[in-house]
Amino acid sequence: MVRNPETLQECIENARQRLYQMANQYTNLQHPEVIRQSMVLDELINEYNDARGFISQRNHHI
DSSP state string for 1-62: -PPPHHHHHHHHHHHHHHHHHHHHHH--TTSHHHHHHHHHHHHHHHHHHHHHHHHHHHHHT-
Give the chain's length.
Answer: 62
pLDDT of residue 54: 65
Q: What percent of the chain has pLDDT over 90?
A: 69
pLDDT digits (tens, 9 = 90+) for 38-61: 999 999 999 999 988 866 666 655
Asked if 56 and 34 count as a contact pair (C-beta separation under 8 A), the reply is no
Looking at every residue in the chain, the average pLDDT score rounds to: 88
Q: pLDDT confidence of 3, banded at 50, 70, 90?
A: confident
Q: Would the pTM count as exceeding 0.75?
A: yes
